[in-house]
Amino acid sequence: MQHRHYAYIFALIMITLSLGACAGFDLGDIVRVKTPNRVQQSTGLAATTSLNEAEAEYRAWFEETQRTGSQWKSNIERAGEIRGIFSQLTLSALDQLGPTVAGIPMLGPALPAMTGLVGLFLGTGRLRKEKESSFNKGMQEGRVIPPSNNTINT
């Protein structure tokens, strides 16, 4: 083919695209975008969407994620404040109760041990959940990482 043929083909393509753009044709409807798996699961989107749809869905998903995150953060902070109030009340009560209990022979030394045991039992559920979530996250990360070829022969 001669250079003139390439020029004609290029001009024809450009005229077609220009007329399509004037008629409301948008290339964003043709270009496809892959949707991440987690976003697919949370929003119900298809595996691939058009660029225009992906941009709109991303904005909605991002705003919802920010709103949910800020609400969760606010709830966590409020719960932390309540825990602080309970902690202060408990410590104040122990400070008031301590001198009184110290006069009783067996109860005075046992009070710190009993409060320690109560604290141990109260914190075990949270500690168990933290360890379990850490283990599960490690297992997920371990599935993603491909095995290496470097093995140690013993």
Which tens digit of pLDDT belongs to each residue from 3-20? 888 899 999 988 887 877
Residue 153 pLDDT exceeds 70:
no
Which tens digit of pLDDT belongs to each residue from 27-82? 777 788 898 888 888 888 888 988 888 898 899 989 999 999 999 999 999 999 99
Q: Which residue has the higher pLDDT, 56 or 129?
A: 56
Q: Which residue has the higher pLDDT, 110 or 15?
A: 15
Counting DSSP H helices and E strands in the chain, the numbers are: 4, 2
Residue 100 pLDDT exceeds 70:
no
Between CA 140 and CA 135 the distance in angstroms is 9
Surface-to-core class of residue 61, CB atoms within 10 Å of its CB (0-12 exposed, 13-18 middle, 19+ buried): middle
Between CA 55 and CA 45 the distance in angstroms is 13
Q: Taking the model in full, what pTM does it have? A: 0.45
Residue 148 pLDDT exceeds 60:
no
